[in-house]
Amino acid sequence: AAGVIQSPRHLIKEKRETATLKCYPIPRHDTVYWYQQGPGQDPQFLISFYEKMQSDKGSIPDRFSAQQFSDYHSELNMSSLELGDSALYFCASSWTQGSYEQYFGPGTRLTVT
Amino acid sequence: AQTVTQSQPEMSVQEAETVTLSCTYDTSENNYYLFWYKQPPSRQMILVIRQEAYKQQNATENRFSVNFQKAAKSFSLKISDSQLGDTAMYFCAFISGNQFYFGTGTSLTVIP
């Protein structure tokens, strides 16, 4: 079965640079979520999209933005990167007509140096 | 505000034994979903089990079962016949609207 795809899997950036993370949800899933998981932390919800519209916002810094495109893939754009942005970034998707469970991608490990 | 609490940061269990991971949550909503996710050393987040709040029957998935006590807002995970591959971080999660709230996790080690 198709799973959530995230790219790249690993990314190394320097402070003040910009990064773009991509997420391809499971086909027919209508909702995409982004999470940030720091070392030893639980995943923190950043933002979600339902049918290409932003539906909920969590602890996403103003330096970050995200959008969902017509083909349902989503991108998380991170600017003015800081050392503290180093984390594992998960994308998850779900089908709200089902039972709401989220299926997670493998994550993108971002390292800011 | 919705909160999820996992009061056991670390647990261990002998292989083939049974272990129960605790989770409590706080919400004013009546209809919601609860989940347990497993995160092995690979860091992949894997859904273990799901419980709909409107269902009184406890969910079961093979060796994994839950004890859902809605009035007490408790949602514990029981792992029977523990296997070495069960070693992982386990997160309890609650969904409200389009937001997931995770607990801080319980690190489970299965000892051979």
Q: Could you report the per-residue pLDDT of A88-112, keeping only the tens digit for each? A: 999 999 887 766 788 999 999 999 9
Whether A33 and B100 lie within 8 Å, measured CB to CB:
yes
| Interchain contact A100–B (C-beta under 8 A) | yes
- Of all residues in chain A, the one with the smallest CA distance to B104 is A42
- Of all residues in chain B, the one with the smallest CA distance to A91 is B45
Token output for B47: 């859904």
Q: Is the alpha carbon torsion for A74, B38, B104, B2 positive or negative?
A: positive
Residue B68 phi/psi, 5-degree rounding, is -100, 115
Give the pLDDT band of residue B30 (cuts 50, 70, 90). confident
* Nearest beta carbon to residue B102 from set A42, A88, A107: A42
Q: pLDDT (tens digit, 9 = 90+) per residue, A38-79?
A: 988 889 989 999 888 998 888 899 999 999 999 999 999 999
Cα separation, B104 vs B101, in Å, equals 10
Phi-psi region at A75: left, alpha or beta (left = phi > 0; alpha = psi -120 to 50): beta
